[in-house]
Copies of this chain bind each other. A is one copy, B any other.
Amino acid sequence: MARIAPLSGFPELLPAQRYVEQQVIARLTRTFELHGFAGVETRAVEPLEQLLRKGDTSKEVYVLRRLQEEDGGKDSGIGLHFDLTVPFARYVLENAGRLEFPFRRYQVQKVWRGERPQEGRFREFTQADIDIVGRDVLPFHHDVEVARVMLEALAGLDFLPGFRLQVNNRKLIQGFYGGLGLSSDAIDETMRLVDKLDKLDAATVRGLLVDDAGLTAEQADRCLALATIRSSDDSFVEQVRALGVAHPLLEEGLDELATLVRSCSTLATASVRVEADLSIARGLDYYTGTVFETRLDGYESLGSICSGGRYDALASDGRTTYPGVGISLGVSRVLVPLLQRGALVADRSVPSVVLVALAAEGDRAEADATATALRARGIACEVAPTAAKFGKQIRHAERRGIPYVWFTTRTVGQPPRHEVKDIRSGEQVAADPDTWQPPSDDLAPRVIVATTTTSTERPSS
């Protein structure tokens, strides 16, 4: 027997945990579809030249090789995708003539990264992305739209801790820096350094801005002052203006960000909040306007679990440019730590609402008929695997969290008598397989938020 052990970075879930993940994905996709997003899947692999277009991610790619390749083990030239944006951009170009623009799609798939595994970082994980892509142009209101759709989707995950969506705008930052008189190179370097504020203290970043980016002390101070601005309404606009910088691009960015925050604030709740956070820049260089990050309350150490933004050139074939705006939720990144800590679990490990008990093996055909009648009305059920003592059959149900056990008693010369027992309360009542209905809350497993975070259920990772 070969080695049986978890593979580090490749988390797997037990059935009651997987049910939680299925629920999350079902609720997300339901919201996406209500907003007209079509589901798309792309193949798991891309040509390496596609994957390596951004040099800094190259070390994360898993390359594929056919084990018994005729040419002696040469790489196939294909690798596993490390996100859903690169394959989606390729899909848009490949199918541009057969898609309708603006094209709105959601995509929930696994991605792979060959990096060293650590808390909240996996080698295989599931992402849920939404994007809207235009041909040549894509109005700004779509930036608002993807933010609102994702907020609504996150609000639907009501068994998770709260979320804080942080938004900023690259035009605002670049316009501000331009208004300070920084050169194009200094703007890029300043953005890169200010982005380090979550790891370095302000004094250190200030020193780097002066020493590395060549800013004056006053320019550095104003850049840092900009990055401290936060507000959950559009009051950030006045705070930025108070810094005394003017630039057309800054005005455009302020206007866009204020519109976004105002439009999203109507969706904000106690558990899903929106704020302008002018320190957010996103490291990747292709964002050109709106940028998003998201923190999970109580799990801030996970970093941003839902990120994205506007890219004026998501894809281009040289003749046509496809601008896009999107946001990507790290489903595994949010869920696996919560499942591992036992903070979330389903209240049963099987979909079954009812276990149909068996008095004798010879009753199996009748028990199957009872089960069929229940299923015809959408009630998931299973028939006991053996005609063991009823106590054992009830424990069989209990161990799986199945709430009801169905008993059928036969007396010669009389129709069979059906009873159903709620094994949580012990209540047992007469029931008809063709009409009995459990409370709707019992029809599917429920996601339970644990009050303690210790549990024997744990995924391997």
Contact = CB atoms under 8 A, between A and B. Distances in A.
A385 B143 CA distance: 12
A197 interface: no
A22 B39 contact: yes
Interface string A14-56: 1100110010000000000111111111111101111001000
A68 B64 contact: no
Given A44-B110, A53-B2, A350-B104, A39 B15 contact: yes
Nearest to A267: B372
Interface string A112-156: 101000000000100000000010000101100000000000000
Nearest to A91: B12
Q: How many copies does the complex hold?
A: 2
Contacts of A3: 47, 49-50
A80 interface: yes
Interface stretch (A92-100, A168-176, A299-307, A421-429): A92-100
A114 B66 contact: yes
Interface of A: 1-7, 10-15, 18-19, 22, 33-45, 47-50, 53, 58-69, 75-76, 78-80, 90-91, 93-95, 98-100, 102, 104-105, 110, 112, 114, 124, 134, 139, 141-142, 316-318, 349-352, 364, 375, 378-382, 385-386, 396, 399-400, 456-457, 460
Given A13-B41, A35-B380, A36-B380, 17 more contacts: A1-B318, A2-B53, A12-B43, A12-B91, A13-B40, A14-B99, A15-B99, A15-B105, A18-B38, A18-B40, A34-B375, A63-B67, A65-B75, A94-B460, A100-B396, A134-B385, A139-B386
6 contacts: A1-B93, A12-B91, A35-B380, A58-B68, A61-B67, A141-B364
CB-based closest 10 A-B pairs: A36-B382, A66-B114, A59-B68, A36-B352, A15-B38, A33-B351, A10-B43, A2-B49, A61-B67, A34-B375
